[in-house]
Each structure stands twice: as C-alpha cells, then as structure tokens.
Chains A and B, each alone.
Chain A
Amino acid sequence: MIEKKSRTLEQDNLSDVNLSIRLYISCNSQLRTHIVTQYSLNVNGKNHVIDADGNTPLLYILRGELDIKSTKYGCGTELCGACRILVDGNLLFACTLLLKDADKTIITTVEGLTESNKPGALQQAFLDINAGQCGYCLAGILITADKLLEENRSPDRREIQLALDGHLCRCGAHNRIIKAIQSVAESDDD
C-alpha cells in the first residue's frame, strides 16, 4: 500500500515537506522488517501500549484505540491534511503512517495543544476570530500552525500560506485561519 501511494505522490510533484515525510516513512518501513504485536506510543504526554496489527494506519489507532477524535480521515493519500499530527516533532499524515513505523514515538494532536482542558493560545486565537466554518480541517491545520510557530515565531502572511499548502479548506475560511495564526505570532512579539 505504502509503495503504491509513494508512486502516486512522486507523480504529483508535491512540496519538499511532503518529500521529506515520504522518505521518513519509507526508511522506517525498511528498518523495521520484523513484525511485533506490541507497540508503545506517547500521545499528548501519555504512554500507551498498543496490541494491534502493525500495518494499521495510525489514524485508526488514534481514533479507535485511544479515542483521539480530532485526527480526521479526509483523503487517505496525504493530499488534504485533515489527519496531520506531530510525530517526534515531524509533521506526518496519520492516514498513511503505519503503527509499526510509529513505534516508540512521541505524538501530538490538538488534544495536546489544550492547557488544563481549556483551549491553548493557538486554539483560543482561532476561537476569538471564528477561524473556521465547518471545522473539519482545523485539527490538522492547528498542528501545522503549531509547528510553524515553533520554527518561526513571527511568520508573515506568505509564510503562513505556504506552510498551510498541504491543507485543504473547502469552506473558504482561509483568511481567518491565516489571521488567527498571525495574531498568535504578533502577540508572541509583545
């Protein structure tokens, strides 16, 4: 499955970010050829031991086994970004990342961006300006935005746009999303 998807991606001339993600996945697939049935994950600061088929995409482990509902299925092929999560600090797609390739990693989803079960600063910024309509794409976008702000504390509009190019929003809430991210960036400068 992974090989087939990699080929599709190759043809699509995706961004460098996606290229590095692809390499990360394929390297890990080659390194871990033996099959184990127990995997350990640290998700949003909590350790979990998972007994499951290592070929299960992480999306279904997060949603089904760990009740992490923020991470969404959108396309299954790394094209929409609805399932984006942080894995050891790297932006990856939970729809194609296999459990066996995520063993012993540290994972962050938007549940991990909350502060004592309240919206964190970035989430609050989205809330303050109603940055969204249906909201299906937002969990993935928040993760990418969090990563962007970690690397660049005051990105300009263009930098935010480019960082979010792996995410599709169909409602047309793009400008609000960009503004929400900018507002956090600006407040960091204060």
Chain B
Amino acid sequence: MIDELPVALQQNPVLSTWLRFDNDKVVVQTGKVELGQGISTAIAMIAAEELNVDIDQIVIQTGRTDRGPNEFITAGSMSIEGSGMAVRHACSAARSFFINRAAELFEVEPATLRIIDGVIINPDGNEQVSFWQLLDGKQLDFEIEGKPPLKPTSEYSIVGRSTTRVDLEAKLTGQPAFIQDLELPGLLHARVVRPRNKAFSLTAINTSTVETIQGVCTVVVDGNFIGVIAKTEFAAIRARQKLIDLAQWQTDSDKALPADIAKFLREEVDTSLLVEDGLPTETPIPPRLASNSGISHAATYFKPYHLHGSIGPSAAIAEYGQDGHLTIYSHSQGPGLLRGAIAQVLGMEIEQITVIHAENAGCYGHNGADDAAMDAALLAKAYRAHPISLKWHREDEHLWEPMSPAMLVELDANLVDGKIMAWNADIYSQTHMGRPLPFGSVSNLLAAWQKNDPMPQAEIRPGMAPHGGIHRNADPYYEIPNKRIIKHLVKDTKLRTSSTRALGAFANVFAIETFMDELALASSQDPAKFRIDHLRDDRAIEVIKSMVSALADHQFQVHDQWQYGKGIAFARYKNTKTYAAVGVVLGVNVETFKIDLLHAVIAADAGQVIDRDGLENQLEGGLIQAASWTLKEAVQFDEYSSTCENWDSYPIMTFSEIPTVETIILDHPDEPCLGAGEATQGPTPAAISNAIFDATKIRIREIPFLPDRLRHQALVM
C-alpha cells in the first residue's frame, strides 16, 4: 500500500521524479540539499546499494524547484529518514521493474537474475542487459504502486560501511564546488550595504560619486536597502566601501537592546505553554510541583546568543531574464520555501521563479542564505538580463544572520530514596523559527523589511510541533513520575533569532544533564548509575555504558598546576532520534582557570548505519562545534547592535584547542535509521560542565565557560 511508503515518496510517487537514467549513470534527484553534512554521499550509498550499481555510477542532484521532488527543508536531522528512505524505496521499485523486464526478455524467472553495476545478467543463458538498454532513452515515468521488496540488510555491501565522500575531491583540488565559484555568461558582481542594526534607518545617501567609479553598473537604493552592481568584484567592493562612507543613518531609540538578557527573557514573556511528552498544549498551566520530603534541589542555566558562524559568508546569484523569469542560485536549506517567500516579496507568481541549490560553506541552520538570495533577486530585478552574483562580506553575515537565541532554563527537582519524584522546568527563550516561509503579507526576509514599502516581519508564534523549538528535548528522557515543564516564549524581535543546529536541545540538554549530575551528587550516587537507574530503554543504557567504559580506559598525562576531571552526559535527540552519550576529560589551570579539553568519547546509536564514516564525522563535528559554543562563544552587544563583526570579536575554537575524540557506533542494522547530525550538540556542554566540577568543585551553569567566570565562581563558592 502506498501509505506504507516514506511520506516524501507518497507526495512524489512518480519514480522519474527521483531517478533519471542517462548515459550509463543514475541521477538521483533529492529534494534535500548538501550543507557539508554529507547527505549526498549517504544518499548515493543508499541508491547504489538498492539498485546494485557502483557508487561512481550515481550522480546526486540536490534540491531545485524545476526538477526532482520538493522536500521543503533540509533541517532537524531528518534527511536520511525522509529523503534517504524515499530514495531507497524508489530504487527498490526501479530494481524490481528492471528485473521483471529482463525476466520477460530472457524468458526466465526473475529470481534467477543477478545485477552487477546496473547490468542484469542471466547466468543460465549467458545473456545480459543494462538498465539503460531496457529503458532505451525513456525514463520511469510511472507511479510507485505499493511497498517494493527492499533488499535484505544481510545482503548489504555498501550501506553500513564507509566510503569516500562524493563531493570532497572537487573541494580539495580547486574545482568549482561552491556557489561563489559559479561562472555564468555575462555575470556581474554585487555587494550590499546594510545598517548596523534594526534600530538604524537611512536618512540620506548621495550615490552620484559611486556611480562614476570605473566598472560600476548601477547603485540601487530602495528604502533602507542599498546595493551596487559592477563588472568586477573589486569594483563592487570599492563602491560598497564608498557607499558605507556616504550613508547617513538615524537611530530609533525605541529599539535599544536589553542590557540584562536573563532579566529580559524572564520579564518579557508573551506566551507560556505546558509541555507534555514533548508536545506543547493549551492545558492551563498547573501550579509548581511541591515536595515535603526527600531532597530538593534547584538550579538555573543560561546560554547566550550564538552565531551560526559559517566560514563562507552568504551568497547568491540571480538573473531576471528577458522573459520575466527569475532564476536564483542559493545555498538555502529550503529552495521550494524560498521560492514562495521571494515570489511574495516581489509580487510574482511562483511559476516565474526557479531556485537551484548551490553549496556554500556549512550553515548549521538558518543563516544569511535566504536573505542573500532575496538581496540578489532585488538587484537582478533592478538590472535585468544579467546574472548578478551577490556576496555578503563577513560583517554582513556576523551582524545580520539570525542568531541562535539566548535561553534561560530553571530546574528544580525532588528526590526520594535516590529517585526523582518531581521535576519542574521553566524554559525562557525567543523564537527558534524565523525561516522565510511563504506567509501572507508578511516576510522573514531581511531585504523585505528594509526595502521601500517594507513588509512586516511575520508575527512570532509558539512552535506547537513535538520537540519543536524552545521545547526540543525539554522533557527529560528519564522515568520521572511527575513533571511540570513550561516553555516561555518572548516574542520581542529587536534581536533577530532563528534555527541553529539542535535548536532548544542544546540549552535544554545542557541544563538537564548538568542537573542530573547535581542530583546524583546531592544524593551521593554515581552519575552514570543514577542516569541508568532512571532509564527503561536498553539502547539508552547501552550507549551510556559504552561511553563510560571507554572514558574510564582513557589515560592522559597530568601536569603541575592543573586539576583534572571527567564528566558525562546523555540525550536521545528529540527523545525519538539518535542516542548519544558524551564523556570528556579536561584540565583546569589552578592559576589562570584556563580549560584544556583533552579528550572526548562519543557512544551513539543511530539505528541502522548508512555511512559509518559520515556518521562519525557528524557526531564528532557536532561535539567540537558544541564545545566551541560552550567554552568560547557569546554575541556581545552595545546599545543597539551586536559588536561581533568578525572572528576577533567572536572567537571560536582553534586547532590547538580541540580535544582528541573517540567515537563508538552501536549499529542496529535492522532498526530504522535515525538522524544524527544534531545528537551530540546537547550532551557536550553538560559533559564539560560536569568535568569542570569533577576537577575543581566549581559548578558552572552559564555559557560560555570563560576563565573569568570560573574564577568568579571559585570566589563565591
């Protein structure tokens, strides 16, 4: 039955939407996009396995609105489960079709045939025919009818192993691989000039001296939106600098930023919702769970605003053709959604717009990608019939990308006989969902707010999906009889926030897993055993035990003037996806309070493993990135603006600061495969906090864990 198929395949049931057979290659058209996470490689492995072709015969084409399925957005660690499984089923259906055709041709039973590299071989008759010969230039232009017979996992020779990433050679040898490298005939170069913040608006700009700069084609001033188009990049850059010098801004004092972020989050709440089993409800909020016996403990945790911090600032290419069709190359996570959002801003029909994904550096969530596409579209409309390549400068990205919102998590719990009986959580944050969905007369695209006749920002609404934004992983994965979990949404939009890898799970798991250690210690229990005693899921217990065992085995050198500690943490992402336990070993300098992260252990269970090395790469990368957020990162502000314009004012972890990482994968070939790209994000900060406590007895609950903060905590202890 079709309803047994993956949802993306139900929505796009024609096989040729997913698979094209051309020139002895299989073009796999996914609606998901490559963000550096390795999805192209994983999907190529799935397709090669299911079709019995060599992985080199697979060509992956990522999301574009003129071909292939619309798979909305590449986010939430859902690409393998969504697109990967759709491709698996489509390939299986295609394989069945080919086998049956060949069986008719050879007049044999289908089961007697073998497939090697897309060639079907009849071992008895010494005959063979390839997929491409059977199709004879046609495509599989028919709908999948029911669940096809999937290849048994016992026959796998590709899936579950490792392979060379399909995209890496080009990137290592300097072949054009990124959106910045695309060359189109007649390409012109563009830059934009933005106010420093949302409080500034343009009062005057005289562009006449800029338009005469050699190579400048035109300057576009549309409300607060300023852009320049030139024949060469350097001419555009010079013009941009001149425009920055010429622009005069006025400040709207109503848009001053809060000085105390934690106070702001607590006091400016617009909506509070009870979260039950990971789901926000309209249920009236019950009173706090009180306790009269046992041990009670309360603590508050904070994470500041963070940047996605892509190494490549956002970029886009747009061309408004003579026929009125707008073609946009973008590194957006959702080409189909972006198409609709841009159509609304420009008053166009979506059929008049094509969005084609092209890679940029990793984005780790909703960064400036969509905004740059909107900018390029506005410029292309102002200077038609030329492809316009717009590149943001570093400060454009740092100052305007939607930040990961600050979060405040207040927890308290009651322990009776060593078991948690009651759990209260109050979680405060701004929205994690600022993506440019095609809303009515509102827009979430930056230039839409800044252009003349601006469109207002979409009203902030609480996410109601299970484990949506603020409440992602807010519900502990532990057996706790009484829980009261409240998410508090601050709708204020003076600071622009949106989705960053793991969303609320980073702060929620940081809080929960640090608190679990505190509860274990408050009741004199071993932190690992305490967790295991509150779990019923054997797979969860297995990852914790594997990690703890490897962590115990890790030997390290000790030095004078340093105190050493180990810490652990666990989470199951969204309580339904990958299980990940993280352990760290670190040293804290007794004089300087510098933290030296020495080693980390990850044990993870992502169900059926597709690309083993790719899975390890994502888990490890997530840990390193989360460690950087935890130890070093916080956006700083003056009265109206972020003051973090570049990497010197927003430092991230460097090569000499990263720990060695050991990753243990617990493979379950017959379980569903689970998204893993965000699984280590949450446990990492808690494991670090717990290790710092183990080393120093300093409990640190505020990110980033800077030496000065440790010193301060040491003094107030």
A-side interface residues toward B, CB under 8 Å? 8, 12, 52-53, 56-57, 60, 63-64, 67-70, 72-77, 79-80, 82, 109-111, 113-114, 117, 119, 123, 126-128, 130, 132-139, 142, 158, 160-162, 164-165, 167-178
User: Is the pair B622, A136 in contact by a Cβ cutoff of 8 Å?
Assistant: no
Inter-subunit contact A130/B361 (CB<8 Å): no
* Nearest-neighbor residue (CB-CB) of A133 within chain B: B36
Contact A168 B647 (CB under 8 A): yes
Measured CA separation A106–B160 after assembly (Å): 46
Give me the interface of B with A, judged by CB distance under 8 Å. 35-38, 162, 164-165, 167-169, 171-178, 180-181, 183, 232-234, 237, 309-313, 359-362, 364, 391, 393-394, 613-614, 617-618, 620-625, 628, 646-648, 652, 654-656, 658, 660-661
Contacts of A119 in B (CB 8 A): 169, 172-173
Q: What 3 pairs across the A-B complex have the smallest Cβ distances?
A: A134-B36, A172-B624, A70-B174
Question: Which residues in B have their C-beta under 8 angstroms from that of A64?
Answer: 232-234
State whether A8 touches B174 (Cβ < 8 A): no
Q: Which residues of B contact A72 (CB under 8 A)?
A: 178, 180, 311-312
> Chain B contacts of A164 at CB under 8 A?
654-656
A53–B234 Cα distance when bound, in Å, is: 9
**Which A residues touch B364, using CB under 8 A?**
170
- Contact between chains at B654 and A132 (CB < 8 Å): no
Please give, as numbers and ranges, the residues of chain A lying within 8 Å of B234 by CB-CB distance: 52-53, 56-57, 60, 64
CB distance from A81 to the nearest CB of B (A): 9
Which chain A residues lie closer than 8 Å to B162 at the CB level?
130
Question: In the complex the two chains form, what is the Cα distance from A96 to B411 in whole Å?
Answer: 49
Assembled-state Cα–Cα distance A12/B648 (Å): 7
- Which residue of chain A has its CB nearest to the CB of B164? A127
Assuming the A-B contacts A119-B172, A176-B617, are A165 and B313 also in contact, with contact meaning beta carbons closer than 8 angstroms in the complex?
no
Structural contact, A73 and B391, CB atoms closer than 8 A: yes
Query: Known: A110-B172, A168-B654. Contact between A76 and B614, CB under 8 A?
Result: no
Measured in the bound complex, the distance between the Cα atoms of B591 and A70 in whole Å is 44
**A74 and B394 in contact, given A133-B38, A161-B656, A174-B658 (Cβ under 8 angstroms):** yes
Given contacts A64-B232, A170-B361, contact A73 B617 (CB under 8 A): no
Residue of A nearest to B680 (CB): A172
Contact A127 B232 (CB under 8 A): no
Assess the B174–A171 pair: CB atoms within 8 A: no
Question: Can you list 19 A-B pairs with a CB-CB distance of less than 8 A?
Answer: A60-B232, A64-B232, A67-B183, A68-B174, A69-B178, A70-B174, A72-B180, A72-B312, A73-B391, A80-B647, A114-B173, A127-B172, A130-B165, A133-B38, A135-B36, A142-B172, A168-B652, A172-B622, A175-B661
How far is A60 from B189 in the complex, measured between Cα atoms in Å? 11
Chain B residues with CB under 8 Å of A169's CB are 311, 655
Instruction: Decide: A138 near B172, CB < 8 A? Known: A165-B654, A172-B622.
Output: yes
* Contact status B614-A134, CB under 8 Å: no
